[in-house]
Amino acid sequence: MLTSDRMLIRGGRPLSGRVRAQGAKNAALPVMAASLLLKGRSLKLSRVPDLQDIHTMADLLRHLGAEIEFKDGTMTIDVPEDLKWETPSDLVRKMRASSLVLGPLVARCGRAVLPLPGGCAIGSRPIDFHLKALTRMGAEIDLEQGSVHARTDGLSATRINFDFPSVGATENIMMTAALTEGETTIENAAREPEIENLADALRAMGASVEGDGTSTVSVKGARDLVSAKVTIIPDRIEASTYLLAGMITRGRVAVDGIDPAYAAALLSKLEEAGITAATSDDSVSLDCRGAGWNGVTIKTLPYPGFPTDMQPQIMAALCLADGTSIIHESVFDSRYMHVGEFRRMGCKIDIQGNTVVITGVPQISGAEVHASDLRAGAALILLGLAAEGETVVCALKHVWRGYERLTDKLRSLGADIELLPDGESADKFDDAGD
């Protein structure tokens, strides 16, 4: 895997061509965690993206006792009869999604220790919903020396109502419920497509799951789950990032292997801005040759609203719009760390609390900039592709967490980019986000 930390971009070239969407990182991570529900059986996943976060989750599962083979997008996870239930802080702190093993471990082993994830570059991100819901199901939870200690003599099915449709909390409780006898009902559940992919996996393993994709999900658990095969859905955030790479460079990019419905919120905002996508059953393309676009107002929301994971990338495109745009970030409490770096490239952005006002400019210029987190890094690359002159995006380690073969894919579209050896410019930001 590439580990280079900086990318040199010679901007101003319209991107053109087709790329294929990778499997969704945010679907693969919970499905991998769900393997822990098995005992002496295996889970086989296809279309798994080769990403840093996937390797972190694989290392965590190996630490707990699983055996994992991963080659050419296919991952086989063999889970032994006996599992460890203490998770190591070095792995957990690398990635917030490590908290997805908590529910499966409590359900499977009756115990779990998980170092509490700290804040990250996109907000405070507590896991209180996960913990309250596990407590309602009969787990005793204590916080000792910065770690969650959970134990139970037996969980029971119940009704859970989340204060906010948290993706991770919905997933954790669906997995816990899959091994808990009786019917657990989750109200105000998250409705993301990744939740449906996890539900498919749990059904294939023998649990009964209904209502996934709606805000009420019911799970009837089984005593013992069975070996299963699951295909990971396409990554809507990666696919959307390439579409915006085509748009911001005024080129023509098509993404294959993605259901356009997954990108509906983005496509409808682009249409409002004056850019209409062409879609088929499994591809989306934007022809922006010679195009301009207008400013729009966007509020990030849980699915099916506009995804917070596309907020930095759409902000990059709106910096070059005709007129003013407004973005209101309603999912995370501090997801504007990238704005300072955007300004270094000539973007005009004012921040007022969780709202930004963007005044479109006709041109931006290259600069050395630092990625504060995964999607911020992707957005800086988009700006670099559109900017006049050379841009160096530093701290790419954040970007490798979520974009498979990024350099190859961008080059295949005609981008003039080069990976540079790790520079002196130390990482300014510490991130366990996304």
* Residues labelled catalytic: 120
Q: Taking the alpha carbons of 311, 235, 58, 35 in that order, is the dihedral positive or negative? A: positive
Contact between 52 and ligand UD1 per CB under 6 A: no
Q: Which DSSP state fits 302?
A: S
How many CB atoms within 10 Å of residue 22? Answer: 26
Question: Binding residues for ligand UD1, how many (CB under 6 A)?
Answer: 23
Q: Smaller CB distance to ligand UD1: residue 29 or 101?
A: 29
List the structure tokens of 72. Answer: 């050419």
**Of the listed pieces 9-17, 123-131, 357-365, 418-426, which binds ligand UD1 according to CB under 6 A?**
123-131
User: 292-317: string of b/e by CB count within 10 Å (b at 16+)?
Assistant: ebebbebebbbbeebbbbbbbbbbbb
Q: What is the three-class DSSP state of 135?
A: helix
Binds ligand UD1 by CB under 6 A, chosen from 6, 47, 125, 338: 125
Q: Smaller CB distance to ligand UD1: residue 115 or 295?
A: 115
List the structure tokens of 213. Answer: 């994709």
Distance of alpha carbon 230 from the chain centroid:
19
Q: Which residues pair with 216 in a beta bridge?
A: 187
CB of 1 to ligand UD1, least distance (A): 19
Tell me which residues in 171-190 interact with ligand UD1 (CB under 6 A).
190
> Contact at 8 Å (CB) between 167 and 194?
yes
CB of 262 to ligand UD1, least distance (A): 13
Tell me which residues in 315-344 interact with ligand UD1 (CB under 6 A).
331-332
Binds ligand UD1 by CB under 6 A, chosen from 62, 140, 143, 164: 164
Q: Smaller CB distance to ligand UD1: residue 234 or 295?
A: 234
Distance from C-alpha of 228 to C-alpha of 31, rounded to nearest angstrom = 11
CB of 421 to ligand UD1, least distance (A): 29
User: 371-409: string of b/e by CB count within 10 Å (b at 16+)?
Assistant: bbbbbbbbbbbbbbbbbeebbbbbbbbbbbbbbbbbbeb
Number of helices (H) and strands (E) in the chain: give both, helices first: 14, 23
CB of 238 to ligand UD1, least distance (A): 12
Strands 6-10 and 390-394: antiparallel
Q: What is the three-class DSSP state of 286?
A: strand
Q: Smaller CB distance to ligand UD1: residue 21 or 345?
A: 21
Q: Smaller CB distance to ligand UD1: residue 190 or 318?
A: 190
Tell me which residues in 4-43 interact with ligand UD1 (CB under 6 A).
26, 29
Binds ligand UD1 by CB under 6 A, chosen from 130, 236, 269, 398: 130
Q: Smaller CB distance to ligand UD1: residue 5 or 431?
A: 431
Tell me which residues in 192-251 interact with ligand UD1 (CB under 6 A).
194
Binds ligand UD1 by CB under 6 A, chosen from 40, 118, 126, 182: 126
Binds ligand UD1 by CB under 6 A, chosen from 54, 92, 127, 265: 127
**Of the listed pieces 128-136, 137-145, 382-390, 424-432, which binds ligand UD1 according to CB under 6 A?**
128-136
Q: Smaller CB distance to ligand UD1: residue 43 or 95?
A: 95
Q: Taking the alpha carbons of 140, 144, 146, 151 in that order, is the dihedral positive or negative? A: negative
Binds ligand UD1 by CB under 6 A, chosen from 11, 103, 104, 168: 168
Provide the H-helix boundaries in 71-178: 89-94, 102-109, 128-136, 167-178
CA diameter of the chain: 65
CB of 168 to ligand UD1, least distance (A): 3
CB of 82 to ligand UD1, least distance (A): 27
Q: Which helix (H) or strand (E) holds 267?
A: helix 264-273
> Contact at 8 Å (CB) between 246 and 414?
no
Closest residue to ligand UD1: CB criterion? 168
Contact between 166 and ligand UD1 per CB under 6 A: yes
**Of the listed pieces 150-158, 166-174, 209-217, 349-357, which binds ligand UD1 according to CB under 6 A?**
166-174
Q: Smaller CB distance to ligand UD1: residue 128 or 388?
A: 128
Binds ligand UD1 by CB under 6 A, chosen from 33, 60, 97, 310: 97
Distance from C-alpha of 238 to C-alpha of 375, rounded to nearest angstrom = 10
Residues that bind ligand UD1 (CB under 6 A): 26, 29, 96-97, 123, 125-130, 164, 166-169, 190, 194, 308-309, 331-332, 434
